[in-house]
Amino acid sequence: MDDFITLENVEKVFQVRRRTGFWRRERREVRAVDSLSFTVARGEMVGYIGPNGAGKSTTVKMLTGILTPSAGRLRVAGIDPARERTRLAHRIGVVFGQRTTLWWDLPLIDSYRLAHRMYRIPDARYRQNLDRLVELLDLGALLDVPVRQLSLGQRMRGDIAAALLHDPDVLYLDEPTIGLDVVSKAKVREFLREVNAERGTTVLLTTHDLQDIEQLCSRVMVIDHGRLVYDGPLAGLHEAGESERTLVVDLERELPPVEVPSARVVRVEGPRQWLAFPAGQSAAPLLAHLAARYPLVDLSVREPDIEAVIARMYAERTAP
Ligand SMILES: Nc1ncnc2c1ncn2[C@@H]1O[C@H](COP(=O)(O)OP(=O)(O)OP(=O)(O)O)[C@@H](O)[C@H]1O
């Protein structure tokens, strides 16, 4: 496979000074990224997730050349980001959900004109890309509107277009759907899928919204305390986290918690009870057992919530 992003034992250590008394300062090291190694192939769409402070932003900053690694080797499209940041800028696009790269007081189109000049995009290519992005992201009516007057979802679509005008080979997305309503989220996700399929853009997606990952990425990397703790298909996370499925049972009337082998009641509300059982196990024997002994009205099986799976994975790793 054509490795497009490569990290080999990358580390980033920050020196921080902490006040410990009136005159005293203590120097301390924060190891934000620790022996991190992974590769991403051209055209892959990979989720990069982990709890707050895990080292996700630090990784992305090193990949864009904003930060220099303390140790290790890092390449994006064969370029060392910290050494050739300007050359790399022509190959990458970055979208930060929490910040905009657009000019706040100017109409949206002016930010695009600026990108046209800054990236020296050939005129014909610029017009072609702009037309396509305006169409796909439904920006036609917004081009002459000052950015500050756009809604969050409109602004986000505007930012995504800005990041793609110069045809980058790789796109870093940091929380691209944060704060968006359901409809806007769906639009952004659909667009990202199309860009990836049409242009073969490599995408590294950082998000706390696990539906982004579920709907966009076949591979997910989980980072914790600066180290990679999982790299594989989304489905495998469930096994790594020994996840559980939930059987929701509606009984004819309120009853004490039901007794079923290899499942445990985790919640009771009136005649409804929730039973957790290992995700790898079939629900059929449980249903048979329940149906033979209890007055059932209805039941349904809920798949594990990925967020819970990850939380459980962390809990296991940090348990003594
Ligand atoms: N400039 C800095 N100076 C000192 N410490 C830093 C700096 N930047 C990040 N850190 C520390 O490095 C660790 C990793 O931070 P980072 O921002 O990469 O995490 P993150 O996974 O992106 O978190 P979040 O999900 O909250 O954005 C944290 O402990 C953070 O406090």
Each residue of 136-185: pLDDT tens digit? 888 999 999 999 999 988 999 999 999 999 999 999 999 888 878 888 88
CB 311 within 8 Å of CB 242: no
Pocket around ligand 1: residues whose beta carbon is below 6 Å from it? 14, 16, 30, 32, 50, 52-58
Residue nearest to atom 30 of ligand 1 (CA): 53
What is 3-239's CATH number?
3.40.50.300
Q: Alpha-carbon dihedral of residues 95, 96, 98, 100, nearest 10 degrees?
A: -60
CA of 30 to the centre of ligand 1 (A): 9
Atom of ligand 1 nearest to the CA of 54: 21
The pLDDT of residue 47 is 94
Each residue of 228-270: pLDDT tens digit? 988 998 777 766 666 788 899 999 999 999 999 889 999 999 9
* Segments of the chain with pLDDT less than 70: 1-2, 238-242, 305-309, 314-320
Atom of ligand 1 nearest to the CA of 33: 14
Atom of ligand 1 nearest to the CA of 55: 18
Residue nearest to atom 17 of ligand 1 (CA): 57
CA of 4 to the centre of ligand 1 (A): 25
The pLDDT of residue 97 is 82
CB 42 within 8 Å of CB 214: no
The pLDDT of residue 238 is 64
CA of 32 to the centre of ligand 1 (A): 6
CA of 13 to the centre of ligand 1 (A): 10
The pLDDT of residue 217 is 93
Tokens representing 76 are 């994006």
The pLDDT of residue 303 is 73
Atom of ligand 1 nearest to the CA of 51: 25
Residue nearest to atom 6 of ligand 1 (CA): 14
The pLDDT of residue 241 is 63
Atom of ligand 1 nearest to the CA of 208: 25
Secondary structure of the chain in HEC code, one letter for each residue: CCEEEEEEEEEEEEEEEEECCCCCEEEEEEEEEEEEEEEEECCCEEEEECCCCCCHHHHHHHHHCCCCCCEEEEEECCECCCCCHHHHHCCEEEEECCCCCCCCCCEHHHHHHHHHHHCCCCHHHHHHHHHHHHHHCCCHHHCCCEHHHCCHHHHHHHHHHHHHCCCCCEEEEECCCCCCCHHHHHHHHHHHHHHHHHHCCEEEEECCCHHHHHHHCCEEEEEECCEEEEEEEHHHHHHHCCCEEEEEEEECCCCCCCCCCCCEEEEEECCEEEEEEECCCCCHHHHHHHHHHCCEEEEEEECCCHHHHHHHHHHHHHCC
Can you tell me the ipTM of this complex?
A: 0.96
CA of 64 to the centre of ligand 1 (A): 16
